[in-house]
Amino acid sequence: MKVVSFFAGAGGLDLGFSKAGFEVIWANEFDKEIWSTYRLNHPNTILDTRSITEIQADNVPDCDGIIGGPPCQSWSEAGALKGIDDKRGQLFFDFIRILAAKQPKFFVAENVSGMLFKRHDDALNNIKEMFKSAGIGYDLSFAMLNAVDFGVPQDRKRVFFVGIRRDLGITFTFPEPLAERYNLKDAIADLKDSAIPALELQNTNKQGCNIPNHEYMTGGFSSIYMSRNRVRSWDEPSFTIQASGRHAPLHPQAPKMVSVGVDKREFVQGQEHLYRRLSVRECARIQTFPDDFIFDYHKVNSGYKMIGNAVPVQLAYHLAKSIKQQIETN
């Protein structure tokens, strides 16, 4: 089955669907910092670099499915929580506009768990109704999934809208969590001693990397960062990988941070040298990108941003596999 991807980013969702047997024939991404990375790793997919607001339905190839994650900052618990009142939040409407015109067999839309905040209830219910009534209509399934339940060594909760076109008579059932769990040791233990710091001004040090993208952001830590423990142990899954190097979790080689007051933590004295941010490649591993997936950037924060904004590949794979099985079986 053929799919098209909106808000594709580096293509974590796309790669998961490809692994499940879908063909990603066309993708849309407006952020120019991402274009070279997407093209490098998805050479058989046509990349449209316009804003979705400029794209008409007849610009989009006919397909079996439309997938994507409309920008999440508007809904984020860490953001201003403006939701649909923010222009970025309103990009859901363009996604639905094209869905209604193309009428594929299914769609997938992903977003942050902050959408579930009570203040967004009216907007969320409106979006659900618009998905259900798009074109001839879709049977909608909605759930919050934690990536750690689907082969990803990371606690990462995200909401998913999955719709199957109503005439197909299928109501999608989300996959059950897997029995096996993965931790930081499984994901990044072999990378422990080979990471290198970024160059001055956080420029890439790729010439010095024996392993592609295995470099980490340097510099101090804000009071907000130091308000919580940022270290998970080797036998635990990672904290959520965020779209910022400044907020990257710390490497599990370090002991957990010590509470010294209300919302104030410190590094263990005498062990300060062990506290470094996870590298770009380590974050990619935790997001289950394969090592041959290369992130192209000049500033290391761009690498962290691409990875942190992505849907974990293995989560996307298990979701896509379930969609494929349910449509083909019925």
Question: What pLDDT, on a 0 to 100 scale, did the predictor assign at position 81?
Answer: 41
Q: In Å, what is the CA distance from 74 to each residue of 23, 89, 162? A: 30, 6, 21
Contact 327, 164 (CB under 8 A): yes
Residue given tokens 């508007």 in the structure block: 74
Question: What pLDDT, on a 0 to 100 scale, did the predictor assign at position 118?
Answer: 79
In the chain, beta strands by DSSP E: 2-6, 23-28, 46-48, 65-68, 106-112, 138-146, 157-165, 196-197, 215-216, 258-261, 264-266
Q: How confident is the model at residue 311 (pLDDT cuts 50, 70, 90)?
A: very high
| Residues marked as catalytic | 72
Is 60 exceeded by the pLDDT of residue 77? Answer: no
User: Domain 2-177+312-329 classified CATH 3.20.20.70?
Assistant: no
Q: Which of 70, 40, 71, 46 is nearest to 60 (CA)?
A: 46
Least confident span in 39-43, 83-87, 240-244, 256-260: 83-87
143-183 pLDDT, tens digit per residue, is 999 999 999 999 999 999 999 999 999 999 999 999 999 99
Instruction: Say if 2-177+312-329 and 184-308 have the same CATH topology.
Output: no
DSSP state of 149: G
Could you name the CATH architecture of 184-308?
Answer: Alpha-Beta Complex (3.90)
Average pLDDT, the chain: 93
Q: Where are the domains of the chain?
A: 2-177+312-329, 184-308
Question: What pLDDT, on a 0 to 100 scale, did the predictor assign at position 6?
Answer: 97
Tell me the percentage of the chain whose pLDDT exceeds 90.
86
3-state helix, strand, coil in the chain (%, to 5): 40, 20, 45
Is 60 exceeded by the pLDDT of residue 78? Answer: no
What is this structure's pTM?
Answer: 0.94
Question: What pLDDT, on a 0 to 100 scale, did the predictor assign at position 83?
Answer: 39
37-49 pLDDT, tens digit per residue, is 999 999 999 999 9
Neighbouring C-alpha atoms within 13 Å toward the C-beta of 1: 23
Q: In Å, what is the CA distance from 165 to each residue of 20, 171, 226, 235? A: 20, 9, 47, 42
